[in-house]
Structure 1
Amino acid sequence: MTVVFSSSPFSSFVLDSSRHRVTVSPAGSMERSTKAKSGSSFFERVLKGLKSPFRRRRDEEVVEFSQSEMEDFEPGLLGASPPPPEASFEDVPEEKQRKRKTVRSFFHKCNKTIRNLFLCGGQDRSRHPSPEPDHKDHEGESSLLPQEEPLISSDHYHPSDLELEDLAFECGYDYERLLGEGCYGSVFKAIHRADRSKKAAIKCITTYGVESYLEVDGEPRPVLAEVAMMLRLGTSCSSIIKLHDWMENDVGFILIMEVPDQSMTLQHYLDNCGSIDGGTASRFRHQLLDAVTHCFSHGIFHGDLHLENVLVSESSLDLKVIDFGCALAIEDEPFESSDYHGNEIFCPPEIDDQPTFFAEPAYVWCLAAMFEKIMKACETNEWCYIIRLCLARDPADRLRLDQM
């Protein structure tokens, strides 16, 4: 048997197994069929070898190993060894857990890189979905090849837990758990690797080329509107979630924000707390009004203000307004009603009645709707008069923010 190894464009090594010698010959003297051998044949031989790990070639025929030869192998190689005893991941020291996550993340990246090289030619599939399959194919054949399978569905793409672990690692954090998923992103809780006392909520926003971008002082180019809004708000208001850091990668944007301890949404709190006292209700009302006033004074309309987008800390009862993904810059008002993408339950009526709307009366309506929910949990009628004035169907008849 003769095997040809091509080490360069100018020469080839010829191994003659029958004579046990190696000769070197110019590449030009090799036959054209030898030149045409592609890398795929190499992988086919590797795959064939993996399928038959206990076979060897002798004089061009396949010979099975004898029983005595098989006994020379370690039991683990034959698959006969008993499974190792189960161990709980919690029993492993924290330092080893972090090392294992680091190693797993490394091999996951290697696997993803190799898959991209050999399946999709190095293209970024996460940003460019593959075209819809053509159903006019031959009988029994699939119209969508494995390498053409899109990672983004017709709805929205959400990263897997392993991908979120990779993102956390790149940010200097260790992934802890998923907090929630929305139309354009996922939010998970993470712990800083260097300082274990620091925790953060990391939001991964996948961009599809249809998002809004705004100019921000100090940035060389426009940034995602949600990032721009949070940078404009700053960190002076305690009732608005703080943005610690942000970055852009090849998939979208990553936002590193504060995460309140032992927090839940205000909707969940009101549904499960039974009834609340008047002091707690008044505290919630003033914090919400403070957050909205801060947003309005900084030229930002939240665009999706409702009870699910407000966090409450169980211990301190502090509120945090979150999720500025639907926010609009007030300097652009009047807004087109079609630009409103907020919660339908807390949607001001002018969104449906008129082609345009303004930020302040819309804010007043949303706040009044939230106050009404809080008032019902408090079992009081103290705010009824103010709420009725704020829920007037005509925006011109409502109170202003400074009158609430």
Structure 2
Amino acid sequence: MVDFYPLARKAEVLHVPMEVYLMFRAAGGPDILGQSAAVSLLDWFELDTEIIIVMERPSPSMDLVTYSTLHYPLPEDTVRDIMRQLVLAVIDLHNKRVFHRDLKSNNVLIQETEDGIRVRIISFGCGCIVSTIPYTSFTGCLSCAPPELFLERKYMDSPTSVWQIGGVAYELFNEDSKFFNTYEWFIDALGMKTSITASEEGKHFIQVCLEESPSKRISLEELERHPWFFTTT
């Protein structure tokens, strides 16, 4: 059963699935193709038991897992560029009231352009609308869920996005090539932290993102101004 949501477009109201609604809010339609970090929605079709979504395919591009593997080890300047773009992209999503909820390396594309690499975000199927009320149910990869989900049975959108950004940064700097896992971060925190091959500023970036308490975790807006983005290695 697919829930449908009202979407006002060109003087008419369409009722569309949540994923379509979020993609349109995040990136618009084919008339503004490729102008945002989120991939653009081209079209969608409702079948009897499923929804088919046609989306932009940035070319050439590959997911961040593949890109980081092919170019291992990534220079810190490259990681910094990727993370800076990702932070700005997530801030843009939240400003558009889109909560992705499943930010991880598999859902980040790296598009290669003449001007350098460009971060693109895909897979909005676990997303929802930004809310001032805590969420009590979770969709997405539980290994990337924030600790407050397990400790308090509730979470907020912005601190969750920051936590997941930290998880992506951890993976790009982890010399053991481990995927980030919230549970393992705490049960083997020392071992995981010592495996991070980053400058002190880079390590601090990860640490403030992965602060256990959401009230002490750095905000998205503060993250944009983190000193690491203004240093060179």
Fold agreement, TM-score > 0.5: yes
The reply to whether residue 234 of structure 1 matches residue 34 of structure 2 is: no
The reply to whether residue 213 of structure 1 matches residue 213 of structure 2 is: no
Q: Which of residues 383, 386, 389 is equivalent to 2:202?
A: 383
Partners of 1:262 and 1:403 in 2: CA distance: 32
Sequence identity (%): 27
How many residue pairs get aligned? The number is 193
Partners of 2:140 and 2:50 in 1: CA distance: 22
Partners of 1:326 and 1:248 in 2: CA distance: 18
Contact preservation (8 Å) 2:27, 2:39: no
Partners of 1:221 and 1:230 in 2: CA distance: 14
**C-alpha RMSD of matched pairs (Å):** 2.1
What's the offset of the Cα at 1:272?
A: 2.9
TM-score normalised to structure 1 length: 0.45
Partners of 2:101 and 2:55 in 1: CA distance: 20
Local SS of the residue matching 1:305 = coil
Tell which has more relative contact order, 1 or 2 (C-alpha 8 A, sep 6+).
2
Structure 2: runs of 5+ lacking an equivalent: 176-195, 224-233
Partners of 1:214 and 1:287 in 2: CA distance: 30
Shift of the 283–234 alpha-carbon distance from structure 1 to 2, 3 Å rule, reads same
The residue that corresponds to 1:331 in the other structure is: 131
The residue that corresponds to 2:50 in the other structure is: 252
Q: Structure 1 or 2: larger helix share? A: 2
Local SS of the residue matching 2:215 = helix
Partners of 2:111 and 2:152 in 1: CA distance: 38
Q: What are the residue-to-residue correspondences of 1:9-48 with 2, within 5 Å?
A: none
Q: What are the residue-to-residue correspondences of 1:261-276 with 2, within 5 Å?
A: 261-276=59-74
Contact preservation (8 Å) 1:265, 1:312: yes
Partners of 2:111 and 2:205 in 1: CA distance: 27
Amino acid at match of 1:225: M
Amino acid at match of 2:211: A
Local SS of the residue matching 1:223 = strand
Contact preservation (8 Å) 2:27, 2:38: no
What's the offset of the Cα at 1:261?
A: 1.5
The reply to whether residue 295 of structure 1 matches residue 114 of structure 2 is: no
Give CA-to-partner distance per residue, 1:203-245, whole Å, 9 cap, x none.
Answer: xxxxxx1x33221113545310000111112347532111122
Give CA-to-partner distance per residue, 1:26-81, whole Å, 9 cap, x none.
Answer: xxxxxxxxxxxxxxxxxxxxxxxxxxxxxxxxxxxxxxxxxxxxxxxxxxxxxxxx
Partners of 2:71 and 2:27 in 1: CA distance: 32
Contact preservation (8 Å) 2:8, 2:14: no
- Larger Rg, first or second structure (1 or 2): 1
The residue that corresponds to 2:192 in the other structure is: none
Local SS of the residue matching 1:239 = coil
Q: What are the residue-to-residue correspondences of 1:296-311 with 2, within 5 Å?
A: 296-311=94-109
Partners of 1:282 and 1:394 in 2: CA distance: 25
Local SS of the residue matching 1:222 = strand
TM-score normalised to structure 2 length: 0.75
Q: What are the residue-to-residue correspondences of 1:85-104 with 2, within 5 Å?
A: none
